[in-house]
Amino acid sequence: MILRAEHITKMFGGLVAVNDVSFEVEEGEIFGVIGPNGAGKTTLFNVISGVYFPEKGKLYFKDRDITRLPSFKRARLGIARTHQIVKPLNELTVLENVMVGACFGKTFANLKEAEKIAWEVLETVGLSDKADVLAGKLNVPQKKRLELARALASKPELILLDEVLAGLNPSEVSEMLKVIMKIKEQGITILMIEHLMHAIMKVSDRIMVLDYGSKIAEGTPEEVANNERVIEAYLGNPELALKLLKEGKA
């Protein structure tokens, strides 16, 4: 088990964004997190990557308590992430962006090694022809790939993907899914948030469903898809939900 969350609660003022959520992620699996807008998915990611500390609960990475570890130390341990709202380092080149990941993440490479790693990773995500372009000049799908490349360059053991498929057209989605499977083959554990049901159903080994900050279900895609609470909570419209889920399994 690579990540264990115990009773995580995160509040903003009076609002409970994540409410007593516990789960475990096995090494090498793809663990999906789904839920309606505002269910607390991104907040949960922020807690795992150390942007916020939870009010209650414990977080363990490979049995080490990381609940109150600052984010940069988590990156060093091998937790990397992408952002739903992309955060490119605009005035640095694409190559330099990726080098930051290699220099300061788990790899902790020196500049020379980092450059080599960065080229390899850019090759993997298909951005090598843009290496010398300023990151701010990329379009959104390219920026999403850059987010992924930066995270990968740190040679993480666990990678958090926050809606990497959102805003992509169908062919870009299937390309990105290939990249995700490639990452999995490298033995990296993936925790992903996704809105596109059919995509996440297809690639995830297990799925957790959040609603209003609480966990309402967990299991294989099949199990989750047939869970009535999920269907209700997620779409409020059981018929439409069934239709979408069938589509997902097909």
Q: Does 150 bind another protein (CB under 8 A)?
A: yes
Least distance to another protein from the beta carbon of 236, Å?
26
Calpha distance 205→137 (Å, rounded) = 36
Q: How many residues in the shown chain lie near another protein by CB under 8 A? A: 32
Compose the 91-110 pattern: x for residues touching another protein by CB under 8 A, - for all others: xx---x--xxx-xxxx-x-x
> Which residue is listed with tokens 């699996």?
29
Interface residue with another protein among 1, 65, 70, 178 (CB under 8 A) is 70
Q: Does 235 bind another protein (CB under 8 A)?
A: no
Calpha distance 93→90 (Å, rounded) = 8
- Specify the residue, 90 or 237, whose C-beta has the smaller distance to another protein: 90
Interface residue with another protein among 56, 76, 184, 198 (CB under 8 A) is 76
Q: Does 75 bind another protein (CB under 8 A)?
A: yes
Q: Does 201 bind another protein (CB under 8 A)?
A: no
Interface residue with another protein among 51, 69, 203, 242 (CB under 8 A) is 51
Q: Does 83 bind another protein (CB under 8 A)?
A: yes
Calpha distance 155→108 (Å, rounded) = 9
Least distance to another protein from the beta carbon of 190, Å?
17
Q: Does 60 bind another protein (CB under 8 A)?
A: no
Q: Does 142 bind another protein (CB under 8 A)?
A: no
Q: Which residues lie near another protein (CB under 8 A)?
A: 13, 49-51, 70-72, 75-76, 80-81, 83, 87-92, 96, 99-101, 103-106, 108, 110-111, 114, 150, 154
